[in-house]
Amino acid sequence: MTADPSGRHDLHCHLDGSVRPATIAELAREQGIELDRPVADLVTAPPDCGSLTRYLTYIDLPLRVLQTPGALRRAARELVEDWSADGVVHGEARFAPQLHGQYGMTPDEAVSAVAAGLAEGRAATGVRTALLLCCLRHQTPEESLAVAETAVRHRDVVSGLDLAGDERLYPGAPHRPAFELAHRAGLPCTVHAGEAAGAASVWEAIEVLGARRIGHGVRCVEDDALLERLRRDRITLEMCPISNAQTGAVAGLAAHPADRLLAAGLAVTIGTDARTTSATSLEREFAALRRTAGWTAEQERLVQEHAAAGAFGPATT
C-alpha cells in the first residue's frame, strides 16, 4: 500500500508500550492493583537500560492492566489521539493478542477490542490507522501459528504480522509456519531483527520469514552484502533511535546509523517503538536526529516517503 507522504507516519509502535501513564494509573485503581511506586517510575525506562530484556520489563504493568476488552479499546483510542497531537497522519499499532487472556479474554476478542478503539480514534481525529499482530520469539511455533490464524480470521481489520522479542536469545526460523500462512493469505510481514542480534538475524528475517520490513535493523551495517540486498529489494527499515539507544542496540544517539543508511539510499523510516516506555513521540525522535545528525526537513521528507511506500494498512478506512 502507498499512503499519503505529506504527513508523519509511525510504522513501528507497540500498543502496550504506548499507554498513557495516567490511564495505567486509573486502570490499576479500578482493577485493585496496588502500585508501590509512582506509575511513571514503573512504565518509563531510563535512558540507558543496558539491554532489551530490561527495557521490556517496563511493559509488565501496562500488560497487567490491559486484560479486558474495555481497557484495550481505551488504550487504542487514546493512542490514535496521541498520534494526532504528534502530527501523525498514518499510524500502525501492533500488539500480541495472546498476552491478554489473564481473565479469559480470547485473542479474537482482544483483536476486536483494539480494532474498535482504533476505529473510534480514527473517526474522532482523521488519522489513518492499521493493526499488526505480534508473534513472540520466546513462544512455541504452535502459539505463533495461532496468532497468524487469528490475523487471517480478522483480515478485514488486521494489516500485517510481526515477530517480536529478543532475537539474541530466540531464533526466528521455528516460527516459519506462521509466516508461511500469512504469505498465503496475502498478509504482509515485518520482523524484529538486527536489534539485539547481528546481521544474521536480518538475513533470517528476509530469507526464512519473508519480511518486507525490518523492525529496527540497526546492525545491518555489519554486512555490506545485506545492505545491498536491503537497498535492492526496497526493504523498509523501521528505526526507533531513542529506544535503540536505551536498549544498547546502538552506543548512543550520536552513533545511530539512520543518517548514513538514509544517505546510502536505504528505505529508512523513523518510529516511536513504545511512546510511554521511551517517553517519546515522533517529534522527539526527529528532534534527536536534528540535534545529533543535523537532520533537516529534507531528511524528514525522505523518511516519510519511505514510510508511505512501506505502509501495510489500513485494512479498512
Single out the residue of 58, 16, 13 nearest to residue 239, CA to CA.
13
- SS3 assignment, position 37: coil
Per-residue pLDDT tens over the stretch 271-297? 999 999 999 999 999 999 999 999 999
pLDDT value at 316 more than 60: no
Contact assessment for residue 308 and residue 4, using Cβ atoms and an 8 Å cutoff:
yes
Contact assessment for residue 276 and residue 92, using Cβ atoms and an 8 Å cutoff:
no
d(CA 91, CA 2): 13
pLDDT at 74: 98
Residue in this structure with the C-alpha cell 490507522, named with its chain if needed: 129
pLDDT value at 112 more than 90: yes
Q: What DSSP designation does 32 have?
A: T
Looking only at the bridges linking them, the beta strands covering 236-239 and 128-136 are unpaired
For the sheet with 236-239, list strands across it: 8-14, 88-95, 128-136, 160-164, 189-193, 213-216, 236-239, 268-270
Distances (CA, A) of 245 to 48, 178, 239: 7, 30, 11
Give the mean pLDDT of 149-177. Answer: 96
Contacts (Cβ under 8 Å, ≥6 apart) of 11: 92, 213, 236, 238, 269, 271, 307, 310, 311, 312
For the chain, strand residue ranges (E) read 8-14, 88-95, 128-136, 160-164, 189-193, 213-216, 236-239, 268-270
pLDDT at 313: 78
At 4, is the pLDDT very low, low, confident or very high (cuts 50, 70, 90)? low
pLDDT value at 2 more than 50: no
Contacts (Cβ under 8 Å, ≥6 apart) of 179: 148, 161, 163, 189, 209, 210
pLDDT at 196: 87
Looking only at the bridges linking them, the beta strands covering 236-239 and 268-270 are parallel
Give the mean pLDDT of 138-166. Answer: 97
In 126-232, alpha helices (H)? 141-153, 176-184, 199-207, 224-232
Neighbours of 62 (CB within 10 A): 28
Per-residue pLDDT tens over the stretch 213-257? 999 999 999 999 999 999 999 999 999 999 999 999 999 999 999
What's the whole-model pTM score? 0.95
For the chain, the average pLDDT equals 95
Q: What residues are annotated to the active site?
A: 195
Contact assessment for residue 124 and residue 167, using Cβ atoms and an 8 Å cutoff:
no
Q: What DSSP designation does 12 have?
A: E
Neighbours of 11 (CB within 10 A): 31
The class of domain 8-310 in CATH terms is: alpha beta
Contacts (Cβ under 8 Å, ≥6 apart) of 317: 128
Per-residue pLDDT tens over the stretch 75-111? 999 999 999 999 999 999 999 999 999 999 999 999 9
d(CA 207, CA 205): 6
**Whether the bond into 171 is cis, omega within 30 of 0:** no
The three-state DSSP-derived secondary structure of 28-51 is: HHHCCCCCCCCHHHHHCCCCCCCC
**Total number of residues shown for the chain:** 317
Contact assessment for residue 58 and residue 96, using Cβ atoms and an 8 Å cutoff:
no
